[in-house]
Every structure is written in C-alpha cells, then in structure tokens.
Structure 1
Amino acid sequence: MNGAESLVATLVEQDVDICFANPGTSEMHFLAALGGNPGMRSVLCLFEGVATGAADGWYRMKDKPASTLLHLGPGLANGLANIHNAKRASSGMVNVVGEHSASHLKYDPPLTSDIEGLARPLSHWVRRAESADSIAWDTAQAVAKASEHPGQIATLILPGDTSWQRTEAERVLPTPAVSRRKTPNAARIEHVARVLRSGEPTLIILAN
C-alpha cells in the first residue's frame, strides 16, 4: 500500500466516501487510489470552485463531510470562494491539496506557492503530510475536525513523494471523537415560543 492508498482507505473507514476532484500531475497516485477503492466515489469537476461548492452542498444535504482534491496552491486558490461560503455556513469539508515532491521543491517549479498561507485563513485545521507511514493518522484527524458540529474546514497537503511512497507500517488511527450537537437551551426555546404565540409583530433573524 502506498501513501495515497492509505489516505483513501482511511477516508472511507472514517465515512468520507465521495471526493470532488480537479487533479493535476502531482496527484496522479491519489487519483489512482480513488479509482481503486470500491468504497470511494470520485467525481471529476472541471473547475476547482465546482469541486468545493459541491462539497459544501454535500454537507448541507447529507450532514457529513465530503473530500475534495485540488492541484497545488493555484488550484486551492481557485476553490477558495466556495470554501469561504462553506466556512460561513459551518459546512464540514476535507480538502486534499497536492504538492510537488520534497526533492522537486528546491528547483522552484512552476505553480510552487505557500499552500499553508493560502489555506489557513479559511481552514480550521491545516497539516502537511510528512510521510506515507503517518498519513492515515493525519487523514483521520482531518476527518474528525471536519465532522465536528458545527462543521469545520480541514486541509491536508499531500506532497507527491508522500503519496507514492510505499508503507509497510500498520495504519494507526487516533481514537475517534464522538461528535455531538449541542442541545438547545430549553428556556430560550420556551421564550421564543411565547413570543411567537403572542400575536405581536415579530422579526426573525437567522444567523450562524
């Protein structure tokens, strides 16, 4: 199993079973892993904003996070508008952003950028995968963050070499946290009910 296969297997085990993808060359191993796991549905999107918008819509309909696959920093930047909308709507989302291999970065290849810097303002959790052996742990933590209530944005950066490296290590996952919605305050509900029953003109403002 390589790092990409470990990542996809962990997503599926953590109940993230769809990926809206706009991949590039750096993500080919991850794309192959998506197609090779029968528990994962991969949806090709022709623009990154479509991928992130679809992931936002998925959470709003299913109440569980989807994943996206974006190509390097510019791909993430193209998807940021709908990541912003998802964050404002408290939608959970796991973004997997490809990166050049570590050995290639020293040559400053085209599309090299500060992915963490782009992701951080609109993400609640950002991490760069360091090795194929640890990627399952990173992925499980990303899903746990995205699955919190209210939903969160988790961004996992996937260097190419981390994706294609083989791993013989047993996949070790953190203990899953139990995600619970906060119980509404009973006194507040009763107060709102009294106001609505009063017959007086009432203005309702809905906000996160």
Structure 2
Amino acid sequence: MNGADVLCDVLLANDVTVCFANPGTSEMHFVAALDRKPKMRCVLGLFEGVVTGAADGYARMTDRPAATLLHTGPGLANGLANMHNARRAFSPMINIVGDHASYHLPLDAPLTSDIESLATPMSNWVGRVKGPADIVPAAEAAFRASLTPPGVATM
C-alpha cells in the first residue's frame, strides 16, 4: 500500500465517496489508487473549473464533501473561481493538489507554484503533505475543515 491508497482509505473512512478529477502526470499514483477502490467513484473532468464546479454542486445537493484532484498549482488556479463560489456558499469540498516530487521542487520546473498562497484566499484550511507520516493527519484535518464550518479544504 502506498500513500495514495492511504489517502483514499482516509477519504472513504470519512464517507467521501466521489472524486472529481483532472489529473496530470504527478497525480498518477492517486489515479491508480482510485481505480483500486471500488467504493470511490472517480469522475473525470477535462478542465479544473469543471471539476471544482462539479464538487461544489455535489456538496450543495448532498451536504457532503466531494474530493477534487487538481494538477499542480496551475490546475488549482484554473479551479479558483468555483472554489470561491463554494467557499461563499459554505459548500464542503476537499481539494487534493498534486505537486512535483520534493527533490524536484528546487529545480523550479515550469509547473512549480506556491500552492499554499494560491489556495489560501479560497480555502478555510490549507495543508501540505511532506511525507508518508503526514497523509492520515492531513487528510483527516482536511475532512474536518470541510465540515466545520462547511467550506473548502485544500491539501
């Protein structure tokens, strides 16, 4: 079991059963984990604005958070308008934002971004997973933050 499987398991244990996704290469481990979890419904969106809008709509209809999977900082930026709407509507949403491997970040690749600074204005809670030991506490904190008060949590 890898970190992506652990993340899926934490979401499922908290009854988060839908993930709206626009993955890129850095998120392939999580996509594979979604495929291994039959209780997790993954809905592909071809643009991050669609993904965050769908998660907001799902939350408004069910009063439950959906997860989103966004490709790095630029993907997160593409979804910010609907994250804003979700935050203002108190819609629970858990955003999972992919990033480069930690050893690759100092190389400042084209998609390297300050994810925390992008997410903070539209999120009630922002957290970064720095290693395997951070996954469970961060995912549980994101779930709690999405519900109390309802709003956007980004990890």
- State the TM-score, normalizing by the size of structure 2: 0.98
Alignment of 1:149-164 (within 5 A): 149=149, 151-156=150-155
Match status 1:6 vs 2:1: no
Alignment of 1:167-178 (within 5 A): none
How many percent of aligned residue pairs carry the same amino acid? 58
Q: 1: CA distance between counterparts of 2:91 and 2:52?
A: 11
**Higher gyration radius (CA):** 1
Off by >2 Å, runs of 4+ in structure 1: none
- Output the amino acid matched with 1:154: A
Instruction: Encode CA deviations 1:46-98: one digit per residue, 9 max, x unaligned.
Output: 01000000000001100110000000000000000100111111101000000
Q: How many residues align?
A: 155
Q: 2: CA distance between counterparts of 1:111 and 1:134?
A: 23
Match status 1:43 vs 2:53: no
- What residue number does 1:19 align with? 19
**Equivalent residue of 1:84, what SS?**
helix
Tell me how far 1:133 sits from its aligned partner: 2.2
- Output the amino acid matched with 1:35: D
Tell me how far 1:134 sits from its aligned partner: 2.3
Unaligned ranges ≥5, structure 1: 157-208
- What residue number does 1:29 align with? 29
Q: Superposition RMSD on alpha carbons, in Å?
A: 0.8
**Equivalent residue of 1:61, what SS?**
helix
Unaligned ranges ≥5, structure 2: none
Q: 1: CA distance between counterparts of 2:137 and 2:83?
A: 24
Tell me how far 1:130 sits from its aligned partner: 1.4
- State the TM-score, normalizing by the size of structure 1: 0.73
